[in-house]
Amino acid sequence: MLIVPEREIANLMTRQAAFEAVEKVFAAMAAGDAYNFPVVREAIGHEDALYGFKGGFDRAGLTLGLKAGGYWPNNLEKRGLINHQSTVFLFDPDTGKVKAMVGGNLLTALRTAAASSVSIKHLARPDARVLGMVGAGHQATFQLRAALEQRSFDKVIGWNYHPEMLPNIQKVADEAGVPFETVELNGMRQADVIISITSAFAPSLMADHVAPGCHVACMGTDTKGKQEVEAALLARATVFTDEVAQSVQIGEAQHAVAQGLIAESDVTQIGAVINGTHPGRDSDDQITLFDGTGVGLQDLAVAASVVDLAVQQGIAITVDF
């Protein structure tokens, strides 16, 4: 069995490798070669923690396993640990033997950023120049860094519910040498691409804040009840997702579907666009929206990729298990 500790991930995994792994597994999902197992998520009644498993099998990539982990809200204050904790376990699909254990914390941020980047690559207008950010927390910095590599953006505009957090994303824009501007939400009409990555339970971005032709990646809503954008925006947009079942149950589409504004059949897996079985964007005026709910197969894909890199570089720890 191989172990790749959390401390090694930053030096091993690249944004490019995460992008390729996620794009490939989205394609496999749409082709019917990969599927996610039902998600388990439980409030364990200890330390206010939410714990669960996300798993799946990719027959094309021969990746089988699960991510175990969740959210411990007291970690930072009580123990100086980050609140999100996760570990990926990979198994040999030929034998069922455990193959690898991989730190999943940084990988989660990288695979989530890779998902919105894949959506930008396949759905944003090629001439997109202004990137809008709604959210400025931990994930937002990864999202912005990855998105800037997808188009020749010449400006980043940002809004956050807690304005004092905006310097987090300004720093990323500064490092990339792209001018940054703080805007009110109606200023988002300048944006050609908007990434929303907040933990909100009520919408901030309304349909009228989004201009025709924009691509919106909604990345924060991964639980029942969370909501980042007005449901009417989904009715106005062509909606794509990582996985339709998750999108309509725990993703941003849950609200538009519940209100009868769109049907489950209006939501398309992005893998179909990657595979060329769906045309994707069909005009410069169309609003495209990606509902990124986060699937276990993304975690397995990036973990498998990092195990390969760790073996190549002699960093993986081998344990006789």
**Which residues contact ligand NAD by CB under 6 A?**
108, 112, 135-140, 160-162, 165, 197-200, 204, 219-220, 222, 226, 292-294
**Among 67, 78, 121, 226, the one annotated catalytic:** 67
3-state secondary structure of 229: strand
Name the amino acid, one letter, at 68.
A
d(CA 317, CA 192): 45
Least distance from C-beta 271 to ligand NAD, angstroms? 16
* Nearest distance in Å: CB 109, ligand NAD: 7
Residues 135, 139: Cα–Cα separation, whole Å: 9
**CB of residue 85 to ligand NAD, shortest distance in Å:** 12
Tokens of 308: 């390969």
Closest CA to 306 of 7, 18, 1: 18
Helices (H), 159-288: 167-176, 231-236, 244-249, 253-258, 270-275
Question: Residue 82 or 235: which CB sits closer to ligand NAD?
Answer: 82
For residue 153, the SS3 value is coil
Nearer to ligand NAD, 106 or 130 (CB): 106
Q: Considering the complex, state which of residue 102 and residue 316 has its C-beta at the smaller distance from ligand NAD.
A: 102
Q: Which residue is nearest to ligand NAD (CB)?
A: 137
In this complex, which beta carbon is closest to ligand NAD, that of residue 63 or of residue 160?
160
Question: Cβ of residue 200: shortest distance to ligand NAD, in angstroms?
Answer: 3
Reply yes or no on whether 97 is catalytic: no
Joined together, the tokens standing for residue 263 give 């049907």
How many other CB atoms are there within 10 angstroms of residue 24's CB atom?
19
Residues with catalytic roles:
67
